[in-house]
């Protein structure tokens, strides 16, 4: 039985998602929490910071990491996952650099960078909570349709719209390749707890395929049907095509 939570509107959605992150921190003070960037998650991160300022729960032992990163742009670029997470949540919680793990945006040796990232997460006990956004084509992180379910942290492709936007914003010459470095599907499935978050009508069709279609590499997020502890948190618009 899939655990699907449908909340009314965007404000309720952001509230529900942020309270799940806070509960995780309060329940286990040395939690390792993975976050996703994008339009879906910015507000929930800011709400965590707002609540932190009121409640001052203990964040001195948590680790936060990013699920994925844009390749070959400066880390300081506003659309780099590092900078997004730093401005949305890391600085607001006053976390130390050692509490914030990210894949690099630039590297001469991506293979080693990926292994190192996995090792750092494992040394801290593995992933307690992973918040996953959902691509309109069903991607998780940068694991695009067709990615094998046994993939580990790796360098992948970007979806075309995102690539076009980043090229425009960074004025990157076409000679420089873009891409996304990301936890693989296998790493994702090893998280002890997952919350897949999707809001808005543009996600309604892929939400239906993810939850009601077959488990298939053509819809990477469909694998989450098989995770033993995954909650699908949706707003009404994203849930509008579901049959149950
Ligand atoms: C991007 C990121 C993902 C994110 C997803 C959803 O490509 N690589 O980590 O979860 O797309 O983004 P949005 O919430 O903006 O729809």
pLDDT tens for each residue of 31-76: 999 999 999 999 999 999 999 999 999 999 999 999 999 999 999 9
Distance from Cα 23 to the centre of ligand 1, integer Å: 23
DSSP H or E stretch at residue 161: helix 160-170
For ligand 1, atom 9: residue with the closest CA:
141
Taking only the tens place, the pLDDT of each residue in 11-32 is 999 999 999 999 999 999 999 9
Secondary structure (3-state) at 140: strand
Phi then psi dihedrals of residue 188, to 5 deg: -60, -45
CATH numbers and ranges of domains, the chain? 3-235 (3.40.50.1360)
Q: Please indicate whether residue 171 or residue 217 has the higher confidence score (pLDDT).
A: 217
Write out residues with Cβ below 6 Å of ligand 1.
36-40, 67-68, 133, 135, 141-142, 162, 180
Query: Which tens digit of pLDDT belongs to each residue from 230-239?
Result: 999 999 999 9
Cα–Cα distance, 190 to 223 (Å, whole number): 12
pLDDT in tens, 101-128: 999 999 999 999 999 999 999 999 999 9
How far, in Å, is the centroid of ligand 1 from the Cα of 113? 22
Model pLDDT, residue 1: 87
- Please give the model's pTM, rounded to 2 decimal places: 0.97
> Residue 244 pLDDT more than 80?
no
Tell me if 26 sits within 8 A of 63, measured CB to CB.
no
Residue 134 CA to ligand 1 center (angstroms) comes to 6
| Residue 220 pLDDT greater than 90, yes or no | yes
- Which ranges in 39-159 belong to alpha helices (H)? 42-55, 81-85, 110-123
Which protein residue's CA is at the shortest distance from atom 11 of ligand 1? 135
Average pLDDT score over residue span 150-171: 92
Percent of the chain at pLDDT > 70 equals 100
Nearest ligand 1 atom to alpha carbon 180: 8
Q: How many percent of the chain have pLDDT more than 90?
A: 93
Alpha carbon distance 138, 206 (integer Å): 6
User: Looking at ligand 1, which residue's alpha carbon is closest to its atom 3?
Assistant: 141
Q: Which atom of ligand 1 is nearest to the CA of 158?
A: 7
Pairwise CA distance, residues 207 & 120, whole Å: 32
Q: Tell me the pLDDT band of 172, cut-offs 50, 70 and 90.
A: confident
The yes-or-no verdict on residue 90 having pLDDT over 90 is: yes
DSSP string, 178-231: PEEEE--HHHHHT-S-EEEEE-SGGGHHHHHHHHHS--BTTBGGGGGGG-TTEE
Q: What is the mean pLDDT of the chain?
A: 97
Q: How far is residue 154's CA from residue 111's CA, in Å, rounded to a whole number? A: 7
Residue 200 CA: which ligand 1 atom is closest?
Answer: 16
* Nearest-CA residue for atom 10 of ligand 1: 133
Q: How far apart are CA 80 and CA 71, in angstroms?
A: 9
Q: How many residues does the chain have?
A: 244
Under 8 Å between Cβ of 145 and 107: no
Q: pLDDT tier at 138 (50, 70, 90 boundaries)? A: very high
The confidence score (pLDDT) of residue 174 equals: 85
| pLDDT of res. 218 | 98
Question: How many angstroms separate the alpha carbon of residue 162 from the centre of ligand 1?
Answer: 9
Rounded distance from Cα 214 to ligand 1 centre (Å): 22
Separation of CA 228 and ligand 1 centre (Å) = 23
Residue pair 179/69 in contact by the 8 Å Cβ criterion: no
């Amino acid at each position: 039985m899939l655990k699907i939570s449908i909340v009314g509107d965007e404000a309720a959605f952001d509230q529900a998602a942020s309270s799940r992150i806070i509960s995780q921190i309060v329940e286990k003070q040395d939690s390792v929490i993975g976050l996703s960037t994008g339009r879906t998650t910015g507000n929930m991160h800011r709400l965590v910071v707002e609540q932190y300022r009121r409640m001052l729960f203990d964040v001195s032992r948590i680790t936060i990491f990013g699920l994925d990163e844009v390749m070959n742009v400066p880390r300081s670029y506003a659309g780099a996952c590092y900078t997004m997470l730093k401005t949305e949540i890391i600085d607001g919680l006053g976390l130390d650099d050692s509490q914030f793990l990210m894949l690099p945006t630039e590297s001469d040796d991506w293979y080693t960078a990926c292994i190192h990232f996995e090792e750092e997460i494992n040394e801290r006990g593995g992933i307690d909570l992973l918040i996953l956004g959902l691509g309109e084509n069903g991607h998780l992180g940068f694991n695009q349709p067709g990615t094998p379910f046994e993939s580990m942290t790796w360098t992948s492709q970007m979806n075309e719209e995102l690539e076009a936007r980043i090229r425009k914003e960074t004025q990157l010459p076409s000679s420089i390749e873009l891409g996304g470095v990301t936890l693989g599907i296998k790493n994702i499935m090893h998280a002890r707890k997952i919350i897949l978050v999707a809001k808005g009508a543009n996600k309604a069709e892929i939400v239906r395929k993810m939850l009601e279609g077959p488990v298939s590499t053509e819809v990477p997020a469909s694998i989450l049907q098989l995770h033993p502890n995954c909650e699908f948190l949706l707003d009404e618009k994203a849930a509008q095509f579901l049959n149950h």
